[in-house]
């Protein structure tokens, strides 16, 4: 759904400091919501795709328009310092994904070089 796809791929549902992030899917696409928890409070998960059960938590990112489950769009419900914290988490997640992708590409290049060398050696000794 609009406003959820760009974030959902980087986060699993769980607590990230004072932020409780819910990353999920439904029949029409991805969902993404963020709650802020009070200082020192641990999230009480409510199952996959659901907000936590903490009564003092406040949802700060969620559905801003549309029909839930069909045409919803996601965005910030409240603005504040938590946006900077979230952006820092997002930046770190993007960098990790890029590093993992680069490592995978490097392993594949090394694997191909070894295989090419093996083939060249076998063919040269025929």
Both tokens of 73, joined, read 């769009």
CA 31 from chain centre, in angstroms, equals 11
Specify the pTM. 0.74
Which phi and psi (to 5°) does residue 66 adopt? 90, 180
Q: Which residue ranges make up each domain of the chain? A: 5-124
Q: Tell me the per-residue pLDDT of 103-118, one tens digit each, with 9 for 90 and over.
A: 777 778 788 888 888 8
- Output the DSSP codes for 80-124: STHHHHHHHHHHHHHHHHHHHHHHHHHHHHHHHHHHHHHHHHHHH
18-69, pLDDT tens digit by residue? 999 999 888 778 889 999 999 999 999 887 668 888 989 999 999 999 888 7
């Amino acid at each position: 759904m609009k406003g959820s796809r760009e974030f959902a791929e980087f986060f699993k549902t769980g607590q990230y400091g004072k932020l409780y992030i819910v990353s999920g899917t439904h029949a029409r696409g991805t969902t993404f919501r963020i709650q802020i928890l009070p200082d020192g409070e641990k999230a009480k998960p409510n199952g996959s795709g659901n907000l936590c059960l903490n009564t003092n938590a406040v949802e700060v990112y969620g559905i801003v328009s549309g029909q839930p489950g069909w045409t919803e769009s996601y965005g910030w419900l409240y603005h504040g310092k938590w946006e900077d914290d979230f952006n820092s988490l997002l930046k770190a997640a993007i960098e990790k994904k890029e590093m993992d992708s680069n490592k995978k590409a490097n392993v594949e290049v090394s694997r191909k070089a070894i295989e090419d060398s093996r083939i060249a050696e076998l063919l040269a000794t025929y």
